[in-house]
Chain A
Amino acid sequence: MSEATAKKPSRRKLLIYAPLAVAGVAGLGFWAMLRGLQDGSFDPRGVPSALIGRHPPQFTLPGLDSSGLPPLASNDLRSFDRPIIVNFWASWCVPCIIEHPQLMALQRQGVPILGVNYKDRPADAQTFLTRHGNPFLRLGIDVPGRVAIDWGVYGVPESYLLDREGVIRWRWAGPITPEVLSQDIAPLLRRWGA
């Protein structure tokens, strides 16, 4: 009996401190998250890919004959001594038009961009390139969408950044807006280009 009454206040006292402890722990966690946001190690917005840190799966795609661009195969991805971008796109996709100027800007900076044209008609793809300009160094035509499935593509447009060893370092599902270009791609190119 006396033990129970002696125990009760101390447990109650501990409970009284519980909100403070929870708030403190949560606060430390949020602080770490904000630090991570600033140095780039924490990014709640990036869609994770199982392929990050690995080589992309093997593939060989036919080219778009009318464009005069060479076709694309997985071995081509390692033939550069700088980071490259692999971009999945289609002429029927509206956000692809939105991101196109940014691809052109990257090409002018000399970043190799390898294109995979996804579930598209060759004539439409050619019209798109003629009308908006060609940012690609190589272009593969993926009519059945098989390569896109192997890469785990969510939908077009989607872009991957590979380092000079051909290892996937970053994935972006959605159009490359000017903000993505300046806030994500530019630092990544610096980081993996060194």
Chain B
Amino acid sequence: MIPELGHFALILAAMLSIAQSSLPMIGAHRADARLMGSAAPLALAGFLAVATAFGALMWSYASNDTTVANVVANSHSAKPMLFKLTGTWGNHEGSMILWVMVLAACSASVAAFGRRLPSALQARVLAVLGMISLGFLAFIILTSNPFERVWPPPADGQGLNPLLQDIGLAIHPPLLYTGYVGYAVTFAFAVAALIEGRVDAAWGRWVRPWSLAAWSFLTMGIAIGSWWAYYELGWGGYWFWDPVENASLLPWLAGTALLHSAIVVEKREALKIWTVLLALLAFALSLLGTFLVRSGVLNSVHSFASDPARGIFILCLLAIYIVGAFALFAWRAPSMAPAGVFSPMSREGAIVLNNLLLCSICAVVLVGTLYPLFLDLLTDQMISVGPPFFNAAVGPLALPLIMGMAVGPMMAWKRAALWPVLQRLWWAACLALLAFILTLAFAGWHVLSALGFAASFWLLGGAVADIADRSGLGRTRLANVFHRARGLPRSAWGAAIAHAGMGVTILGISGMGLATEKLVSVPPGGSTQFAGYEWRLEGIRDVTGPNFTARRATVTVLQDGRVLRVMEPSKRFFPLGRTTTTEAAIHTNLVRDLYLVLGEERDGEAVLRLHNNPLAPWIWLGAGIMALGGALSLSDRRIRIAAPARHRKEATA
């Protein structure tokens, strides 16, 4: 009964989204207030329907209902309850429902919190969101129905990919999807603006919080995915430039550019066409990621559900949304005249530079990801574009971007002088130079890591200098400085903290550049020296988990004869899926990670892989700080209490 309820709720949601995508649009065109007013209730009802469907699917998982094909394929009664629940979105069908539910939640909040929006704009935005929702609901209902029944029901499910039975991977997709879907809202705002033929400061004021929220979620989603790869895949790496990873990085890069250019629209009413294009691009790249992962055209370790027939459906949706939006852009954008004028040497100019560099990185990653596919298609030649290409191509673009990141926020709007800004940053530059020299002196000839450390301290110093400058340090009394620092707008603090977070992430990445590893074969009782510690293999034993058996090694790490830590890496074998996973043992003290992997056993000896990863945790902590900066900026007064700028303008016009 419950699965049918979910199925009907899904169909109901599709019907509601047909109404949501047409009635408000017609209403906005005819200036019919009643039709426009239907948008908000339809969006709220649509959210309730999709949430009901999602709840029904989750209930089927929780109760291990083996009459539901999706549960049979992806779950098992022996699985812990937490992973039964998170298994709801650990598969293709369930994750699509989650996707649509997040989209419906965004629609509902545009409906609920957007009362101050001009009604025609709100109606158009909700209509576009309804169209997106309709396409994906049709996709679920027609090609990937999660509520399909099986009869007779099998005795139990067929388990879930053991790699997915993990808390990191359980929260990774919802965060990532919230990020992707957040860009659907900025996309809808951009399309609505193109239809209206008008982009102004009020529009920028509405787009910015949405792009900020999407950006924060996407940052966290990518970071947790990378953290998962670090501790679960057992390779000791954190970013592999894998196509699926790149697919999530692309919207992040475009979204970061959007975040910054939206500020210019809001403050100065310049860069309008460009911002609209970025908003379209960020969502187009989100959809591209969904398509690449779901259709099976990519060769990746990550993709889990692939089916060419589904791929064609998604491609058609993409064609409608993206080609439609770009065609609208080509038709309408020329009519939008830029208003604000600025000199190249100004905050706006710095943001233009930021946008150009971010978009170049985005283009490089996009080309590197798609080039092998297109080469295979055109010439039947198989190549793989690996980390060396990406590192070599992204590095030179990232360096000026980071250098500008500290300078940009301190420049004045409209027209600025570079020299005074550099004067206020001289000590950050000294700090960076010192970090560069110290790294080379103590860690050996690691130029890239040394550059990374320099960049990191430059950003951290730049963030401090920015806040100090805004608080008037050196120009007024110290007590006054603290008072002013407290009174700074939260968006200023948010920007400084997010930039500092980037510095922290780069700190971790540079530290990982100095990582060392050792592969040894030791008998039980034997020991080896590595990274200044003695590692003693005490023994290996069999362990039985709820749905796996494992070999678990006990390794004591000794420092000068004292026991520092007992580490227990293991290899799990899941008989249901016939797969093995490695569970690395990690000991961190925030300065370095000791990372231990158990390998093959042969001739009474066990192969151990030892890693010493300096500063590794800061890669993900830095991303957390970035997201925190985003959240702080979101809580800014300017966003909480939306200024009714356009209303007033319209009244006087």
Interface residues of A (CB under 8 A from B): 12-13, 16-17, 19-20, 23-24, 26-27, 29-34, 36-38, 42, 44-48, 92, 94, 98
Least CB distance from A91 to B in Å reads 11
B334 CB contact (under 8 Å) in A13, A31, A48: A13
B330 CB contact (under 8 Å) in A17, A30, A31, A94: A17
Q: How far is the CA of A36 from the CA of B296 in the complex (A)?
A: 11
Q: How far is the CA of A136 from the CA of B80 in the complex (A)?
A: 42
Least CB distance from B303 to A in Å reads 10
B297 CB contact (under 8 Å) in A12, A17, A33: A33
Least CB distance from A6 to B in Å reads 15
Measured as residues with beta carbon below 8 angstroms from the partner, the interface class of chain B is 35 or more
Q: How far is the CA of A36 from the CA of B333 in the complex (A)?
A: 37
A16 CB contact (under 8 Å) in B330, B578, B600, B602: B330
Number of A-B contacts (CB under 8 A): 75
Given A23-B323, A24-B323, A27-B323, A45:B330 Cβ within 8 A: no
B268-311 contact mask (Cβ, 8 Å, vs A): 1 or 0: 00000000010011001000000100011111000000001101
* B482 in contact (CB, < 8 A): no
Q: How far is the CA of A88 from the CA of B374 in the complex (A)?
A: 32
Contact B333 A16 (CB under 8 A): yes
List of A residues within 8 angstroms of B481 by Cβ: none
* B53 in contact (CB, < 8 A): no
Interchain Cβ contacts under 8 Å between A and B, 24 examples: A16-B330, A16-B334, A19-B280, A20-B323, A26-B370, A27-B315, A29-B374, A29-B377, A30-B295, A30-B297, A30-B311, A32-B377, A33-B297, A33-B377, A34-B295, A37-B311, A42-B297, A44-B297, A44-B298, A44-B299, A44-B372, A46-B382, A94-B580, A98-B578
Contact B322 A23 (CB under 8 A): yes
Given A34-B295, A48-B382, A98-B578, A23:B308 Cβ within 8 A: no
* B326 in contact (CB, < 8 A): yes
List of A residues within 8 angstroms of B318 by Cβ: 27
Contact B376 A42 (CB under 8 A): yes
* B373 in contact (CB, < 8 A): yes
Given A20-B329, A44-B376, A12:B580 Cβ within 8 A: no
* B327 in contact (CB, < 8 A): yes
Least CB distance from A93 to B in Å reads 10
* B82 in contact (CB, < 8 A): no
List of A residues within 8 angstroms of B531 by Cβ: none
Contact B312 A33 (CB under 8 A): no
Q: How far is the CA of A30 from the CA of B291 in the complex (A)?
A: 10
List of A residues within 8 angstroms of B323 by Cβ: 20, 23-24, 27
Q: What residue of chain B has the Cβ atom nearest to residue A16's Cβ?
A: B330
* B319 in contact (CB, < 8 A): yes
Least CB distance from A157 to B in Å reads 14
List of B residues within 8 angstroms of A13 by Cβ: 334
> Is chain B's interface secondary structure helix, strand, loop, or mixed overall?
helix
Q: How far is the CA of A46 from the CA of B381 in the complex (A)?
A: 12
List of A residues within 8 angstroms of B370 by Cβ: 26
Q: What residue of chain A has the Cβ atom nearest to residue B298's Cβ?
A: A44
Least CB distance from B157 to A in Å reads 17
Q: How far is the CA of A16 from the CA of B309 in the complex (A)?
A: 33
List of B residues within 8 angstroms of A26 by Cβ: 370
List of B residues within 8 angstroms of A44 by Cβ: 296-299, 372-373, 376
Q: How far is the CA of A174 from the CA of B376 in the complex (A)?
A: 22
List of B residues within 8 angstroms of A45 by Cβ: 299
Contact A34 B308 (CB under 8 A): yes
Least CB distance from B548 to A in Å reads 15
Q: How far is the CA of A19 from the CA of B329 in the complex (A)?
A: 9
Q: What residue of chain B has the Cβ atom nearest to residue A46's Cβ?
A: B382
Contact B377 A42 (CB under 8 A): yes
Given A23-B284, A23-B322, A34:B311 Cβ within 8 A: yes
B308 CB contact (under 8 Å) in A19, A29, A37: A37
List of A residues within 8 angstroms of B578 by Cβ: 98
List of A residues within 8 angstroms of B315 by Cβ: 27, 30-31, 34
Least CB distance from A178 to B in Å reads 10
Q: How far is the CA of A82 from the CA of B587 in the complex (A)?
A: 56
Least CB distance from B305 to A in Å reads 13
Contact A37 B602 (CB under 8 A): no
Least CB distance from A170 to B in Å reads 14
Least CB distance from B307 to A in Å reads 9
List of A residues within 8 angstroms of B377 by Cβ: 29, 32-33, 36, 42
Interface residues of B in 325-375 (CB under 8 A from A): 326-327, 329-330, 333-334, 370, 372-374
Q: How far is the CA of A48 from the CA of B9 in the complex (A)?
A: 47
List of B residues within 8 angstroms of A46 by Cβ: 382
Contact A19 B326 (CB under 8 A): yes
Contact B296 A37 (CB under 8 A): yes
List of B residues within 8 angstroms of A29 by Cβ: 373-374, 377
List of B residues within 8 angstroms of A12 by Cβ: 334
Q: What residue of chain B has the Cβ atom nearest to residue A44's Cβ?
A: B299
